[in-house]
């Protein structure tokens, strides 16, 4: 896999049982790139290690006054120099390719898992943790995958040099062969503590990231209540904790680096001291001493990769564990395995609550609890928070369909939809049936003023479809963002469209026009709207009251207002005293006086609602 070939057609199925297993799986899937980097690394490091032998030959040639040998050693040095340059260049290319492709594979896996889990992901894993895994942790995992091949090449080169020194000068070669393993492994006892400190730093950084994202997301609200400075102080304290943890971690790694410098220096001093004694005794030549000395000096370079692989593994192991933890998450329901499953048609039925949305009709659902409405919307879309009885579409369980088929059949727009940055044309370029034009969807969602605002906010743009949206549509008001999201949902034209409070941020006149536009554009399609707005409820073909997790009443808006106190309490926002008074009056008047016995407070509220609806 080359960088230009990204993304992967299929990133594969990861082994997410543990962090080390995930790293091993990742390495196995990049064997070709690893072997390529290993080959170039061997060329580079062996050429680096060969330079001392060339220098030793040159010194011996000078001592013997042999011009031919000196020329021969010079040619070998030139060859080693070319090999070093070529090997280092292509080693870097191969290693960086391994890094980027490994990081891209992990990011694709995380993106696929996020798409599979939907909103379940952020309920199981904190938002800051997800951000940290998909950014910093991915980089650390890629670093380890990239470092493995270079470390392997360095380790093999060290073995080759030790064997060569044993053959070239056994007396000094034994000292080097014994001392190098000690130097290479001396930092191992320090690694567990360094890893723990790195984990603490990562944990504190994740909490700070989560706090920062929460603060930025709620900045407007914080300013409104005067709590901006309070949260900024909290973030300052969190960032200082991250800084202190980073300093403690850096101290540990600086100690490891110091050990990696000190011990090779002591080995070099010992070899030189012993070698000088052998040279004075005449047991070795000057050229041999220079060769051994130069070899040890050159070995300092590949030995640095022992420290790097230790750092890379120490940082990537917890990162891989966290990534594996996210990738191991599963939907609480099972999906079918038939990729050719057809999109079912018919009524939408939830056995748990008893909710029935007839095919081709506009059904409004009223829940007294907004959180319960959100959970119900997710259930209707086949994304329940917990395992339970599957929702049926045309008698077919949604949980028994492949995920892409289920999402083609039912689309859920939650109460806080996200708008991605880009042009309006790109925002509305979503998988769709093709039967709904973008202009019709925008008109039904009453987006005329939104289009004007986008054109005015963009330079040299005449077509609103080419106007750019800022990140998450922050330049627009809440109502404008809500209407654009509604238009995007209408364009997809799914078999079933579930809308959770789609007009909570718009005024009543716009809300009435949106209700009529949605009803007209979705004619013949199944639409479920979870709302307590009288304007939407009055235009629904069927209204369902869900109380305490079960269907409590079914009818039309005006009928339920007069006959169902619980429905009226939710829609009219009655207080407890008003609801109790209205309920007693209704019970007393069920003998035939109808709504006249509902009590003065309830009647006044009904009159007010009817006036609002007629005006709208």
Q: What is the mean pLDDT of the chain?
A: 81
What percent of the chain is predicted at pLDDT more than 70?
A: 85
Full DSSP string of 112-181? HHHHHHTTHHHHHS-HHHHHHIIIIIHHHHHHHHHHHHHHHHHHHHHHHHHHHHHHH-HHHHHHHHHHHH
Q: What pLDDT score does 369 carry?
A: 81
Quote the Cα angle for 78-82-86, to 5°. Answer: 170
Q: What pLDDT score does 312 carry?
A: 86
Q: Which among 497, 125, 61 has a CA at the least distance from the CA of 286?
A: 61
Q: Which among 140, 138, 144, 143 has a CA at the least distance from the CA of 107?
A: 138
Q: What pLDDT score does 608 carry?
A: 54
Q: What mean pLDDT is predicted for residues 360-377?
A: 88
Band (216; pLDDT cuts 50, 70, 90): low
Q: What mean pLDDT is predicted for residues 560-581?
A: 76
How many whole angstroms separate alpha carbon 603 and alpha carbon 80? 97
Q: Tell which wins on pLDDT, 176 or 498.
A: 498
pLDDT of 482 > 60? The answer is yes
Distance of CA 287 to the CA centre of its chain: 58
pLDDT of 505 > 60? The answer is yes
How many whole angstroms separate alpha carbon 378 and alpha carbon 45? 57
Q: What mean pLDDT is predicted for residues 450-455?
A: 86
Q: What mean pLDDT is predicted for residues 239-246?
A: 88
Beta bridge pairs of residue 355:
350
Band (228; pLDDT cuts 50, 70, 90): low
Q: What pLDDT score does 478 carry?
A: 83
The residues, ordered by sequence, that sit 6+ positions from 200 with a Cβ below 8 Å of its Cβ are 245, 248, 249
Q: What mean pLDDT is predicted for residues 204-212?
A: 74
How many whole angstroms separate alpha carbon 428 and alpha carbon 433? 13
Q: Which among 186, 202, 145 has a CA at the least distance from the CA of 1?
A: 145
Most confident residue range from 208-217, 295-304, 378-387: 295-304
Q: What pLDDT score does 515 carry?
A: 93
Most confident residue range from 190-204, 466-480, 544-558: 544-558
pLDDT of 616 > 60? The answer is no
Band (581; pLDDT cuts 50, 70, 90): low
Q: What mean pLDDT is predicted for residues 243-253?
A: 88
pLDDT of 297 > 80? The answer is no
Q: What pLDDT score does 171 carry?
A: 79
Beta bridge pairs of residue 280:
none
Q: What pLDDT score does 54 carry?
A: 83
Around Cβ 64, how many Cβ atoms within 10 Å? 11
Band (285; pLDDT cuts 50, 70, 90): confident
Q: What mean pLDDT is predicted for residues 103-118?
A: 86
pLDDT of 491 > 90? The answer is yes
pLDDT of 508 > 60? The answer is yes
Q: Tell which wins on pLDDT, 191 or 513.
A: 513
Sign of CA dihedral 99, 101, 106, 107: positive
Q: What mean pLDDT is predicted for residues 20-44?
A: 91
Q: What pLDDT score does 158 carry?
A: 83
pTM of the model: 0.64
Q: By mean pLDDT, which of 19-33, 110-124, 136-150, 501-515 is the weakest?
A: 110-124
Band (540; pLDDT cuts 50, 70, 90): very high
At 461 the three-state DSSP class reads: coil
At 6 the three-state DSSP class reads: coil
Around Cβ 378, how many Cβ atoms within 10 Å? 20
User: Each residue of 141-170: pLDDT tens digit?
Assistant: 988 988 998 889 888 888 888 888 788 778
Cα torsion 127, 131, 133, 139 to 10°: value is -170
Band (594; pLDDT cuts 50, 70, 90): very low
Residue identified by tokens 């020194």 is 165
Q: What pLDDT score does 217 carry?
A: 60
pLDDT of 576 > 70? The answer is no
Q: What mean pLDDT is predicted for residues 62-83?
A: 88
Q: Cis peptide before 45, with omega less than 30 degrees from 0?
A: no
Full DSSP string of 378-433? HHHTT--SS--PPPEETTEEGGGS-HHHHHHHEEEE-SS----SEEHHHHT-----
Q: What pLDDT score does 97 carry?
A: 92
């Amino acid at each position: 896999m080359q960088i230009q070939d990204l993304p992967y057609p299929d990133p594969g199925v990861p082994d997410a049982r543990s962090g080390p297993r995930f790293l091993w799986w990742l390495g196995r899937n990049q064997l070709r790139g690893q072997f390529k980097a290993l080959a170039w690394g061997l060329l580079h490091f062996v050429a680096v290690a060969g330079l001392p032998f060339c220098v030793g030959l040159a010194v011996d040639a000078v001592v013997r006054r042999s011009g031919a040998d000196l020329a021969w050693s010079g040619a070998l040095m030139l060859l080693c120099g070319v090999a070093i340059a070529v090997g280092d260049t292509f080693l870097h290319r191969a290693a960086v390719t391994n890094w980027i492709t490994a990081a891209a594979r992990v990011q694709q896996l995380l993106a696929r898992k996020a798409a599979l889990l939907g909103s379940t992901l952020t309920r199981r894993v904190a938002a800051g943790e997800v951000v940290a895994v998909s950014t910093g942790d991915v980089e650390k995992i890629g670093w380890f995958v990239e470092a493995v091949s270079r470390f392997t090449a360095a380790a093999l080169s060290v073995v080759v040099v030790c064997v060569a020194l044993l053959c070239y000068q056994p007396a000094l070669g034994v000292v080097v062969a014994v001392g190098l393993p000690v130097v290479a492994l001396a930092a191992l006892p320090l690694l567990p503590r360094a890893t723990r400190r790195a984990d603490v730093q990562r944990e504190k950084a994740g909490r700070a990231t989560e706090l920062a994202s929460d603060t930025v997301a709620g900045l407007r609200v914080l300013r409104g209540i005067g709590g901006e400075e309070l949260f900024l102080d909290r973030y300052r304290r969190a960032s200082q904790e991250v800084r202190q943890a980073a300093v403690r971690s850096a101290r540990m790694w600086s100690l490891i680096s110091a050990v990696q410098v000190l011990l090779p220096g002591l080995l070099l001093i010992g070899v030189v001291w012993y070698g000088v004694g052998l040279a004075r005794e005449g047991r070795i030549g000057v050229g041999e001493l220079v060769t051994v000395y130069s070899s040890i000096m050159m070995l300092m370079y590949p030995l640095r990769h022992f420290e790097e692989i230790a750092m890379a593994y120490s940082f990537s192991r917890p990162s891989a564990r966290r990534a594996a933890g996210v990738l191991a998450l599963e939907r609480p329901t099972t999906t079918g395995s038939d990729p050719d499953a057809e999109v079912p048609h018919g009524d939408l039925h939830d056995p748990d609550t008893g909710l029935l949305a007839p095919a081709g009709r506009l059904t409004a659902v009223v829940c007294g609890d907004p959180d319960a409405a959100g959970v119900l919307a997710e259930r209707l879309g086949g994304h329940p928070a917990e395992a339970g009885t599957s929702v049926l579409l045309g008698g077919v369980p949604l949980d028994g369909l492949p995920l892409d088929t289920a999402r083609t059949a039912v689309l859920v727009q939650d109460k806080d939809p996200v708008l991605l940055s880009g042009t309006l044309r790109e925002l509305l370029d979503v998988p769709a049936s093709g039967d709904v034009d973008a202009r019709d969807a925008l008109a039904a969602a009453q987006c005329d003023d939104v289009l004007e605002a986008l054109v005015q906010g963009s330079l040299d743009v005449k077509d609103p479809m080419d106007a750019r949206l800022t990140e998450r549509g922050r330049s627009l008001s809440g109502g404008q963002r809500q209407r654009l999201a509604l238009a995007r949902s209408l364009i997809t034209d799914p078999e079933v469209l579930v809308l959770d409070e789609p007009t909570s941020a718009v005024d009543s006149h716009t809300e009435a026009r949106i209700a009529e536009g949605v009803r007209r554009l979705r004619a013949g399609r199944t639409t479920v709207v979870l709302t307590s707005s009288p304007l939407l409820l009055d235009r629904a073909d069927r209204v369902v009251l869900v109380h305490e997790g079960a269907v409590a009443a079914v009818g039309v808006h005006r009928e339920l207002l007069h006959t169902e106190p619980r429905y009226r309490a939710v829609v009219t926002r009655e207080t407890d005293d008003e609801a109790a008074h209205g309920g007693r009056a209704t019970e007393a008047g069920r003998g035939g006086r109808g709504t006249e016995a509902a009590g003065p407070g309830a009647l006044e509220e009904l009159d007010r609602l009817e006036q609002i609806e007629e005006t709208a």
